[in-house]
Structure 1
Amino acid sequence: MLRIIDLVLSVVGLVLTLPILLVVTLIGYFDTGSPIFIQERVGRGKRPFKLIKFRTMSVDTASVASHLASRSSITKFGAFLRKTKIDELPQLINVVKGEMSLVGPRPNLFNQAELIEERDKLNVYDALPGVTGLAQVSNIDMSTPELLAKTDRKMLDSLTVGRYFDYIIATATGKGAGDRVSKS
């Protein structure tokens, strides 16, 4: 049932936000020269997939978790995209492709060994990763691997259609600050 809802909402979302996607892509070319950011992430069953986002950091930023990246790497336009969560819109393509759900554990990088270990203990990788979820609307990010894994498991164990929509609405209305970035 949730897969059908994911598919319908993502296709509708892509159609409705197409003008925004085009404008952000155009502005992104002037901002970084490379507006689309594609990065290998850990998916369901720990299989790799290519996450699609709008680029918010300079092109030469190291491929690390956001909380390990320097705040100075974020461009001015990227800061706006992060604040408004517009940088996440291209992930609707990942949802349509069946690599992600709208709601689920945020997909991590393969180099985040501690988080992978914590999520493995709780079988979090049995689920599709998501664009948003309980951790995101609770301001829990990947800098606290054990807490994040426990929160992910709690969300998965209690996920209903109603809560699914609660997480989407909370995210769309601005709840949750997104991934932390290093102060340096």
Structure 2
Amino acid sequence: MEYISYDTKKIIIDEHLQQQRVIYHSCKRCFDLFFSSVGLVLLAPLFLIISFAIKVEDPKGSVFYSQTRIGENEKPFRMFKFRSMVSDADELLPTLLKENEVDGAMFKIKKDPRVTKIGKFIRKYSIDELPQLLNVFIGNMSLVGPRPPLPREVKYYTQYDKQRLAVKPGCTGLWQVTMRNDVGFRGMVHLDLEYIVRSSWKLDIYIILRTCIVFMRPNSAY
């Protein structure tokens, strides 16, 4: 199954058609609720270990990091992650913006000086994303969907880009398990829209399985 033709023609989302997929979206919510509940219980020991490691390296900061993200229909929400950066990371961001290595409305640099030692490890294996299971349980995220952007990123979105906000954002998605940091902003948008158009149980299961592989064999995440 191949889904990385990110340089093809533009994709236009049929919002009316998406609204008619009531059964798929209802079943997906039940799936999200069940597996986020199970995941939070089973991963509790890992959460304790990671929390201890974060506190040992940087006692000043909190274990978890919450950040405002933009979700479905441009609705803001608080997204949770394990803290992988120094406690004053947000204050240091303005000094690093000029070093952005990704085109478009997104910020990433491969050797971000704000990332801690434990942060590098949990990012490599995507462990820092696990607290988002709480977002899934609450209902402002899904297990599978587009990456939730920051408000400052959405300010630069075109109407075409905003199509990726037509569904709930996900903990993992087509972009994350295929190209991730190997493509720029346009490539990410295309893959997200491709997911929305092709979304199905088959594709969701494919993405979840690929995510499990990423945990065991990390991709180019940073």
The two structures share one fold, judged by TM-score above 0.5: yes
TM-score in terms of structure 2 length? 0.73
Q: Cα distance, 1:32 vs. partner?
A: 2.4
1:129 counterpart = 2:155: no
Identity of paired residues, percent? Answer: 32
Aligned counterpart for 1:24 among listed residues 42, 50, 53:
50
Counterpart code for 1:85: S
Gap runs ≥5 in structure 2: 1-26, 94-105
CA distance in 1, matches of 2:87, 2:195: 34
Q: Cα distance, 1:133 vs. partner?
A: 0.7
1:48 counterpart = 2:76: yes
Match of 2:208 in 1: 168
Counterpart code for 2:161: R
Q: Cα distance, 1:28 vs. partner?
A: 1.3
Counterpart code for 1:27: A
Match of 1:177 in 2: 219
Match of 2:117 in 1: 76
Superposed CA RMSD in Å reads 2.2
Which has the higher relative contact order, 1 or 2, with Cα contacts under 8 A spaced 6 or more apart? 2
Matched residue SS, 1:112: helix
CA distance in 1, matches of 2:53, 2:84: 12
1:11 counterpart = 2:37: yes
Match of 2:195 in 1: 155
CA distance in 2, matches of 1:179, 1:99: 24
Q: Find the structure with the greater CA-based Rg.
A: 2
Match of 1:61 in 2: 89
Q: Cα distance, 1:143 vs. partner?
A: 7.2
CA distance in 2, matches of 1:166, 1:147: 20
Whether the aligned pair in 2 keeps the contact of 1:141 and 1:148 (CA below 8 Å) is: no
Whether the aligned pair in 1 keeps the contact of 2:124 and 2:221 (CA below 8 Å) is: no
CA distance in 2, matches of 1:31, 1:80: 13
Q: Cα distance, 1:171 vs. partner?
A: 1.0
CA distance in 2, matches of 1:49, 1:143: 26
Whether the aligned pair in 2 keeps the contact of 1:142 and 1:148 (CA below 8 Å) is: no
CA distance in 2, matches of 1:37, 1:69: 20
Q: Cα distance, 1:125 vs. partner?
A: 1.0
Q: How many residue pairs align between the two structures? A: 178
Gap runs ≥5 in structure 1: none
Matched residue SS, 2:50: helix
